[in-house]
Amino acid sequence: MNINLTIIGQLLSFAVFVWFTMKYVWTPIMGALETRKKEIADGLAAAERGQHEQELAKERAKDVLHEAKAQAAEIVAQAQKRAAEIVDESKDTARVEGDRILTAAQSEIEQEANRAREQLREKVGMLAVAGAEKILKKEISADAHQDIVTALAKEI
Amino acid sequence: MAGDALTSGEYIKHHLTNLTFGQHPDGSWGIAHSAAEAKEMGFWAIHVDTMFWSIGLGVLFLYFFSKAAKTATQGVPGGLQNFVEWIVEFIDTSVRGSFSARNSLVAPLALTIFVWIFLQNLMDLVPVDVIPELAKLLGIHYMKVVPSTDPNATFGMAIGVFLLVLFYSIKIKGVGGFAGELTLQPFSSNNPIVNLLFIPINFILEFVSLIAKPISLALRLFGNMYAGEMIFILIAIMYNAGLILGLFGGVLQLGWAIFHILIITLQAFIFMTLTIVYLDMAHHEH
């Protein structure tokens, strides 16, 4: 309990400890703490920025999607319209073609019929001449009355 | 336990004697063999146990803290670093709370005071006989393990703080400003002659309050720790007084130790806070 030299020893060691703490403990630790604080703040800021950007991107994506949908709908509508047009066109073409074919067929039939009629007429003329020949065997020669027979055949 | 030959009074006295190294009256240097011999050595003697334990604890503190500081990374901190950072941040908050000027010395000073005093006080929780008995086996007869129960230790630190207070008072306010603070308040008058009369009165008042700072700082810590250790010693005496009293003493010691955890932390904290406050006052005109 005596006051003695210890007091000075304590004072000196105290001073040395404080100096040491200041130089080798406090400064590096505070430095590390500051750096970490800054890093965390930066990280948080970056995260916030990222979130913001993500929101923006989402918005943008929604817009793009919207646009794409609209475009798709438009394309579909156009395609449908075009399809209807094509169907109409082909219907028209088909009708015209059908008409043409029909007309051609009708005219051919008519020609055929005419030709048949012609042939029939000739045949009948000839038959009539043959019949007349048989009846009039002696009196009428085919050569002598050729023009009459032809005229008859034409009238039939 | 204390030897059977010791009476309670001797036991207490034994526990309260430092291991003193100094000059014997016959001129030779050596360890004092009794309290009276230690007293005769006067000022030019040193308490080897106080110095050993306080410096040892200080080195322990600095070892762990500088180790944590050296490996301090900005990344995820490990266990030791976490603990050290927790204390450092606690000190930093305290300093920011009560110290308004800018001074890079105050925070490390506060950290050193807090941890060092806490460790010194912590030695109080080691049962009073353990280390002295071990020392006895090594042939050392006196061993007082709690440095803060030695007024030399507490006064050493308080004087260190006081010197810093004086230094910064003079540095910030100048010699004239500091002298004015000591002499021109609390009483002052517009009349110069009356003011002159007030100077000695003011000086007495202010000087006492100035000197009271280190003394109260040192005596508060010393008193609390000394009283605490005294109670531990008194409880330890009960161990020699039969089984029932011994068991009762064990319960008491446990209770007092648990309560003492609060005291040792509180005293370290008070010493630190008052240091910060005194230095803050030294930085400001008032």
Q: Per-residue pLDDT tens for B67-109?
A: 888 877 666 777 888 888 889 889 999 999 888 888 888 999 9
Q: Of residues B35 and A140, which shows the higher confidence score? A: B35
> Which of B157, B229, B271, B272 to mutate: most A Cβ within 10 Å?
B157
Q: State both tokens at A63.
A: 């817009």
Q: Which domain holds residue B116?
A: 8-283
Q: pLDDT at position B286, please?
A: 61
Residues in chain A: 156
The pLDDT of A136-146, averaged and rounded, is: 68
Could you tell me how far CA A29 lies from the centroid of its own chain? 68
Q: Is B100 an annotated catalytic residue?
A: no
Q: Is B224 an annotated catalytic residue?
A: yes
Mean pLDDT is lowest, of A82-86, B11-15, B69-73, B84-88, for: B69-73
Question: Domain count of chain B?
Answer: 1
Q: Between β-strands B45-47 and B29-31, what pairing exists: parallel, antiparallel or unpaired? A: unpaired
Q: Of residues A108 and B4, which shows the higher confidence score? A: A108
Per-residue pLDDT band at A77 (split at 50, 70, 90): very high
Instruction: Say whether pLDDT at A87 is over 50.
Output: yes
Interface membership of A37 toward B (CB under 8 Å): no
Instruction: Say whether pLDDT at A143 is over 80.
Output: no
How far apart are alpha carbons A57 and A64 in whole angstroms? Answer: 10
- Pick from B45, B112, B153: which is nearest to A5 by CB? B45
Interface contact A18-B108, CB threshold 8 A: yes
Three-class secondary structure assignment of chain A:
CCCCCHHHHHHHHHHHHHHHHHHHHHHHHHHHHHHHHHHHHHHHHHHHHHHHHHHHHHHHHHHHHHHHHHHHHHHHHHHHHHHHHHHHHHHHHHHHHHHHHHHHHHHHHHHHHHHHHHHHHHHHHHHHHHHHHHHCCCCCCCCCCHHHHHHHHHHC
Average pLDDT of every residue of chain A: 89
Inter-residue contact B183 to B206 (CB < 8 Å): yes
Q: Of residues B19 and A104, which shows the higher confidence score? A: A104
Q: pLDDT at position B3, please?
A: 45
Tell me if residue B182 falls in helix, strand or coil: helix
Interval B205-227: pLDDT, tens? 989 989 999 999 999 999 999 99
Q: pLDDT at position A115, please?
A: 93
Q: Is B240 an annotated catalytic residue?
A: no
Q: Of residues A19 and B181, which shows the higher confidence score? A: A19
Q: State both tokens at A60.
A: 């943008």
Q: pLDDT at position B1, please?
A: 42
Mean pLDDT is lowest, of A148-152, B66-70, B247-251, for: A148-152
Q: pLDDT at position B75, please?
A: 65
Could you tell me how far CA B164 lies from the centroid of its own chain? 16
Q: Is B83 inside any structural domain?
A: yes
Interval B120-168: pLDDT, tens? 999 988 888 888 888 888 888 888 888 888 888 999 999 999 999 999 9
Q: Is B46 inside any structural domain?
A: yes
Find, among B128, B94, B121, B122, the residue nearest to B109 by Cα: B94
Per-residue pLDDT band at B2 (split at 50, 70, 90): very low
Q: pLDDT at position B45, please?
A: 84
Q: Is B118 inside any structural domain?
A: yes
The pLDDT of B163-192, averaged and rounded, is: 85
Q: Is B2 inside any structural domain?
A: no
Instruction: Say whether pLDDT at A1 is over 80.
Output: no
- Please give the sequence-ordered ranges of beta strands (E in DSSP) within chain B, or none if there are none: 20-23, 29-31, 45-47
Q: Is B38 inside any structural domain?
A: yes
